[in-house]
Each structure stands twice: as C-alpha cells, then as structure tokens.
Amino acid sequence: MTAPLLDIRGLTKSFAGHPVLADIDLQVQPGSMTAVVGASGCGKTTLLRLIAGFETPDAGTVAIAGRQVASPTTSVAPHRRGVGYVAQDGALFPHLTVGQNIAYGLRGDRASVRRRVDELLETVSLDPSYASRRPHQLSGGQQQRVALARALARQPVLMLLDEPFTALDTGLRAATRKAVAATLAETGVTTLLVTHDQEEALSIADQVAVMRDGHFTQVGSPQEVYRHPTDRFTAEFLGDCIAVPCVVTGGVADSVLGRVPVRANDGPGTLILRPEQLVATVVSDSGQLDGVGTVLAVEFLGHDVLLTVDPAGEGAPVVVRQHSLSPPPIDAKVRLQVIGDGVVLT
Ligand code: ADP
Ligand code: MG
C-alpha cells in the first residue's frame, strides 16, 4: 500500500463545548475518491473545513501529501495546503463571467490565463464559448462544473467537495455526477466528497466512510460497507434491510428464511440481508407447504416492486425487492430463496 495522500488521525472538534467530531481516523490513497456519507448535521462540513484549514482541531492531526498541515498547535494557511474546496452552496461570483470566475486566483499574462481557462472549461466538458456567460445563464449542472473548474485552476493535490450535486434534480444529478467523477479521475486529483445521499456515495467512490454523530461507524469499499456492514446503524443507513433472528452453526445461519452462509461465530444473532437477495417464487397450493410464505402487500415502484411476505407464519413479515414484471398477487403462496451470503450481528 502506498502512503496515503490524506492522512487524518484522531481528529476531534467541539463548538462551544458541544462535540461535533470525535476521534476521526481516515486515510485516502493518491488518485482515489472517498465519500463521507452521513445525515444532515452529523459533522461532514466541519470535517472538510478542518482539512481545508478554515477551522482548527481540538485534538488530532491532518497530513496532506506527507506534510502535517493541522494540529491543535500548528496550522498551515488554507491557500498553502494544495487543497481545492467547493463549498456546499458552490457559489460562483454572480457579477463575474464564467471565465473571470475560473481565472480568479490564476496568475500570468492575459493570453496564458485565457488559454488555461479554455483548458479548464474543456476539462469539465463545457464549450470555451461559455467563458463570456454569467453564472445565471447556466443550468445548475453547468454551474457545478464551473465551480469545479475554478477549484481545479490552482492544481490542488486534494479536492474537497461538499454535497456538490444536492441542488440538482435527479436526471441532471446522475449525469453531472458521472461527468465530475470522470474529470477528477482523468486529472488524477485525490478527492474527498461529502454527501447525505447513500446511492451517490456507493456509486461514485472507491472508499466510503459512514458518519454518525461525528464519528465513523465503518470505512471500506462500497461493496464491503453495503454487503458486510459491521453494525445495525450502518446496515440500515446504506439501504433497506431484512433482519431476522438466527442461530449460526459452522458458518451457516439458520432462520425462518432457511440456511444462509455467513462469516460469523457459532451462536444466536440477527441475520441481515438486502431485499434484493430474496427471490419469491410462486408455488401451487398442491405442493408441500413447508417453508412457504404468503404475500401480504405489493408496492409498485416503477422498475421494482416491493413484496411484503409473511414467512411461513413465523416471525415478522419480510420485504422482497424484485423487478416489477408480473409480480405475484396479494395472498399468493411463495417460496423464499436467499441469494449470496448474509451478515450476522449480535
Ligand atoms: P453536516 O455538514 O454534516 O450537515 P456540520 O459539520 O455543518 O454538519 O455541523 C455539525 C454540527 O456542528 C451541527 O450541529 C452544527 O450546528 C454545528 N456547527 C457547525 N459549525 C459550527 C460553528 N461554527 N459554531 C457552532 N456550531 C457549529
Ligand atoms: Mg454540511
């Protein structure tokens, strides 16, 4: 493993005696993207402001590219940290053109600044002709990309993005997210993005850090934190969960849903699965009814349907997510099958 580009150790911050960040550890590898995901008010912006240098930690350290930039007693000025920061409102200067916004902070003669602005516009997939426009003449997604270009202008080694896509509506959001992720990957700049949107974090990042009340509950790859959450909060925060009591013996969890492979020690616990891991197959009344459940409700969501199934009369109903083509009707008898492995929490 190479040395991390961003290395945060024991970072702690209170405002007026109210703890906001507690003992945060985070390493971000060069050229990668980490998403910090958490509910509103959990401390995400505060974390970015500490890294950028707009706040000083009460305890702990921040190192960027091997150089310590923050501790309770030492602080490197924000503009000397090699950090690009796109704040939550992403605000462009409304009275300046797009070109002037991007050129803000660039040095050199007019021609070289002009050339660099064109390059940066191209980098964020905007035509150079946009340089003469004012921010209000751009769509939300285009404004986001100009804000990114402005932050890239100083060639930061670390880019900090605070909920960059929140203001955009669904379609534009997915497209802008892809464009920005591609740009950042191309420029090779290490990125830390914060968001309250789980799907965004899971889809865009190489590493996801789940934040709750100023601490990380789990840090790992998107697949790891989604498929193998280490606690109930993380499991439920990242998506819908099925939770049923189980008993583990030799790496197999026995529950009302049958036998499911798990990585867990022997004993009782709670089996956690994602709704898409369950498949409900309709059975005819004539067969044997062992392990057969009843559909209690069908919720149409467009491309998916959620089936609420009473599993064989035992335990609480479970919710199955499947494609919405010809779902079983209410009261249908279904057999539930589990795909993949589960997680056991005790
Ligand atoms: P998030 O970005 O996750 O929504 P913030 O980091 O903005 O969360 O805020 C976390 C908590 O810290 C909130 O309770 C907020 O009110 C508080 N807070 C943030 N900045 C300050 C400040 N400068 N002074 C006092 N309290 C603050
Ligand atoms: Mg915030």
- Does any ligand 1 atom lie closer than 6 A to the CB of residue 54? no
- Does any ligand 1 atom lie closer than 6 A to the CB of residue 44? yes
- Looking at the structure, tell me whether residues 141 and 27 fall in a common domain: yes
Per-residue model confidence as pLDDT tens digits over 219-254: 999 999 999 999 999 999 999 999 999 999 999 999
Structure-block tokens of residue 172: 């534009």
Give the domain CATH number at 329.
Answer: 2.40.50.140
Cα 11 to middle of ligand 1, angstroms: 15
Per-residue model confidence as pLDDT tens digits over 262-319: 999 999 999 999 999 999 999 876 566 667 889 999 999 999 999 999 987 667 899 9
Helix (H, G, I), strand (E, B) or coil at 344: strand
Per-residue model confidence as pLDDT tens digits over 32-42: 999 999 999 99
Confidence at residue 176, expressed as pLDDT on a 0 to 100 scale:
81
Give the domain CATH number at 161.
Answer: 3.40.50.300
Q: Given a cut of 90, is residue 65 above it in pLDDT?
A: yes
Cite the DSSP H helix spans in the chain.
44-52, 98-103, 110-123, 140-152, 170-187, 198-204, 222-227, 232-237
- Looking at the structure, tell me whether residues 230 and 244 fall in a common domain: no
Q: What atom of ligand 1 comes closest to residue 43's alpha carbon? A: 6
- Looking at the structure, tell me whether residues 264 and 137 fall in a common domain: no
- Looking at the structure, tell me whether residues 265 and 222 fall in a common domain: no
Q: Does residue 1 lie in a domain region?
A: no
- Looking at the structure, tell me whether residues 292 and 222 fall in a common domain: no
In 3D, which of 91, 114, 119, 90 has the Cα closest to residue 103?
Answer: 114
Residue 259's domain spans which residues? 240-345
Q: What atom of ligand 1 comes closest to residue 88's alpha carbon? A: 2
Ligand 1, atom 1: nearest CA belongs to which residue? 41
- Looking at the structure, tell me whether residues 101 and 195 fall in a common domain: yes
Structure-block tokens of residue 255: 């529950």
In 3D, which of 18, 25, 29, 35 has the Cα closest to residue 194?
Answer: 35
- Looking at the structure, tell me whether residues 36 and 142 fall in a common domain: yes
Q: Which of 20, 42, 89 to mutate to test the pocket of ligand 1 (most atoms within 8 A of CB)?
A: 20
Per-residue model confidence as pLDDT tens digits over 111-167: 999 999 999 998 888 999 999 999 999 988 889 889 989 999 989 999 999 998 887
Select from 191, 218, 234 the last residue of a domain: 234
Q: In total, how many domains does the chain have? A: 2
Confidence at residue 139, expressed as pLDDT on a 0 to 100 scale:
87
- Looking at the structure, tell me whether residues 93 and 184 fall in a common domain: yes
Confidence at residue 286, expressed as pLDDT on a 0 to 100 scale:
59
Confidence at residue 107, expressed as pLDDT on a 0 to 100 scale:
87
DSSP 318-334: EEEEEE-SSPPPTT-EE
Q: How many Å apart are CA 270 and CA 253, to the nearest integer?
A: 9
- Looking at the structure, tell me whether residues 73 and 14 fall in a common domain: yes
Query: What's the average model confidence in pLDDT over 67-86?
Result: 95
- Does any ligand 1 atom lie closer than 6 A to the CB of residue 15? yes
Q: Given a cut of 90, is residue 261 above it in pLDDT?
A: yes
Q: Does residue 226 lie in a domain region?
A: yes
- Looking at the structure, tell me whether residues 227 and 254 fall in a common domain: no
Query: What's the average model confidence in pLDDT over 193-211?
Result: 95
In this prediction, what percent of the chain has a pLDDT beyond 70? 97
Select from 216, 234, 252 the last residue of a domain: 234
Query: What's the average model confidence in pLDDT over 190-194?
Result: 97
Lowest mean pLDDT among 52-61, 142-151, 203-212, 308-317: 308-317
- Sheet with 343-345: list strands edge to edge: 258-261, 252-255, 242-249, 267-273, 343-345
Cα 261 to middle of ligand 2, angstroms: 39
Average pLDDT, the chain: 92
Query: What's the average model confidence in pLDDT over 27-34?
Result: 97
- Does any ligand 1 atom lie closer than 6 A to the CB of residue 43? yes
Confidence at residue 19, expressed as pLDDT on a 0 to 100 scale:
96
Q: Given a cut of 80, is residue 172 above it in pLDDT?
A: no
Q: What atom of ligand 1 comes closest to residue 47's alpha carbon? A: 6
Q: Does residue 211 lie in a domain region?
A: yes
Cα 332 to middle of ligand 2, angstroms: 46
- Looking at the structure, tell me whether residues 189 and 292 fall in a common domain: no
Q: Given a cut of 70, is residue 78 above it in pLDDT?
A: yes
Q: What atom of ligand 1 comes closest to residue 16's alpha carbon? A: 25
Q: Does residue 16 lie in a domain region?
A: yes
- Looking at the structure, tell me whether residues 107 and 191 fall in a common domain: yes
Select from 174, 208, 234 the last residue of a domain: 234
Nearest ligand atom owner, CA of 21: 1
Q: Which of 11, 13, 46 to mutate to test the pocket of ligand 1 (most atoms within 8 A of CB)?
A: 46
Ligand 1, atom 12: nearest CA belongs to which residue? 20
